[in-house]
Amino acid sequence: MMWYGDRFKLHGLFSVRLCQEVSGMRRISVYSLKPGHLVARPVYNSSGQVLLQCGARVSKRYIDRLLEMGVFTLYIEDDFSADIKPEDIISDELRMRSNLLIKNLFSRQKAGHARGQTSAEMARITAVVNDIIDELLANRSTMINLMDIRAHDDYLFGHSVNVCVLAVLTGIALHFSRTKLFHLAMGSLLHDIGITRLDRGIGGRKRELTAEERRQFEMHPLYGYEILSRDLHTGKLCAIIALQHHERYSGHGYPKGLQQDEIHEMAAITGLADMYDELTSAVIQQRVLPPNEVYEMISGAGDSLFAFNLVKAFLTNITPYPVGTLVKLNTGETAIVIENNKGLPLYPKIRVLCHEDGRLLKEPVELWLPEDRTKTIVAVVENLPGQEAG
């Protein structure tokens, strides 16, 4: 088992070790991990280095190290998830290439080298934005089933890429033209670039901010606007997305307290994607919210935090029960989600694993929930009965 190193070249831009074969897996809170669990999806840093590789057996020391690094979820493989293979909506290669470009751009910005920004670097970012759009257009029937796992220090880069992916998916659901998708993708990818102007302690948000620090943090959309319009020349629309991504429909956002139609649609979509990613990544809150709770929170945000039509479009790509989620049924049985239906997010295909008394079924039963109206999901659980974290 290795924490660092063990790499091979990928596209010449960075090095990374990928699992030779995608393992079956399910996502679990690090707090529920137990020594002996098998890692099913590697944890990378933004440079493409493997922090914890696939196939590794978790030990107490690694659980402590994951928490220290701000990694709060992990994909594991066990007997009943071995054949469950949720697919990422963009390729590992593209996700890592995007992460690395953003890391380089933000690092140069932080170091004050903005004016030395080469057109080659912006050309690579433009290329990556187009690749993200292409992959998402090609995968439009897929829902978000996989989350990337990030260490706290790499949060901002992975977050930027994820917000871009979620925003573009929403733009596709709203039938945006290719040109509109490009502006949305570029603006959402760079929406938090203003954070590079903040002190690390404030921008990193590893702790509760004081009122003064909060005031400084809330300047980052204005800084982002300045950087994008003045230094990087990405175009007005991209700068407006950065400027308005924390404005809220109700008027309770910042920096200007804009409301409803005063907020550009693309900035609102980016804000929605930003909120979802923050809630699901567990890095900022340092606790894991089950995906169904995040889904409910977003569902309730229509015409309060964001325009209803945007929330509706956003939710077409999100599932409260991603593939690999363990669920409790109204019958008391425990099941695992094995497939999702894009039109019916509350009714996935499940495999019933345990009877209501916790005994394992001799032969697991698979069914689409709409086909059996007597069964509904009542909760997301982390472990099978009798295997709860102690």
* Shortest distance (Å) from residue 274 CB to Fe ion: 6
Q: Please return the burial class of 29, using the count of CB atoms within 10 Å of its CB with bins 0-12, 13-18 and 19+.
A: middle
- Closer CB to Fe ion, 271 or 348, in the complex: 271
Query: What type of residue sits at position 45?
Result: N
Distance between CA atoms of residues 110 and 97, nearest Å: 20
CB of 146 to Fe ion, least distance (A): 23
Binding to Fe ion in span 188-207, by CB under 5 A: 192
Question: Which token pair is 232?
Answer: 């990087």
Q: Give the nearer residue to Fe ion in terms of CB position, either 80 or 225.
A: 225
Specify the stretch interacting with Fe ion by CB under 5 A; choose among 4-12, 132-140, 185-193, 197-205. Answer: 185-193
Residues 301 and 311 sit within 8 Å (Cβ to Cβ): yes
Cα(261)–Cα(263) distance, integer angstroms: 5
Q: With the C-alpha atoms ordered 42, 103, 72, 140, is the resulting torsion angle positive or negative?
A: negative
How many Cβ atoms from other residues are within 10 Å of residue 255's Cβ?
Answer: 15
Interacting residues with Fe ion between 1 and 60 (CB under 5 A): none
> How many chain residues bind Fe ion (CB under 5 A)?
1
In the complex, what is the shortest distance from the CB of residue 321 to Fe ion, in angstroms, rounded to a whole number?
28
Of residues 224 and 291, the one with the C-beta less far from Fe ion:
224
Nearer to Fe ion, 224 or 348 (CB): 224
Between 14 and 106, name the residue whose CB sits nearer to Fe ion. 106
Provide, rounded to whole angstroms, the least separation between the CB of residue 105 and Fe ion.
16
Distance of alpha carbon 197 from alpha carbon 205, whole angstroms: 14
- For residue 156, what are its two tokens? 């901002």
Extract the tokens encoding 27: 């996502």
Closest distance to Fe ion from the beta carbon of 68 (Å) = 25
Candidate segments 108-116, 147-155, 176-184, 187-195, binder of Fe ion by CB under 5 A: 187-195
Pairwise CA distance, residues 160 & 101, whole Å: 11
CB-nearest residue to Fe ion: 192
The nearest distance, CB 262 to Fe ion, in angstroms, is 18
Question: Smaller CB distance to Fe ion: residue 202 or 377?
Answer: 202
Site track 124-143 with Fe ion (rule: CB under 5 A), x = hit:
--------------------
Nearer to Fe ion, 148 or 192 (CB): 192
Of the candidates 265, 271, 323, the residue with the CA atom closest to the CA atom of residue 163: 271
Shortest Cβ 153–Fe ion spacing (Å): 17
Question: What are the b/e assignments for 215-226, b being 16+ CB within 10 Å?
Answer: eebebbbbbbbb
Q: How far is the CB of 330 from Fe ion (least distance, A)?
A: 39
Confirm or reject binding of residue 247 to Fe ion (CB under 5 A): no
| Comparison of 14 and 254: residue with beta carbon closer to Fe ion | 254
| Full DSSP string of 354-375 | E-TTSPEEEEEEEEEGGG-TT-
User: Which residues of the chain form contacts with Fe ion (CB under 5 A)?
Assistant: 192
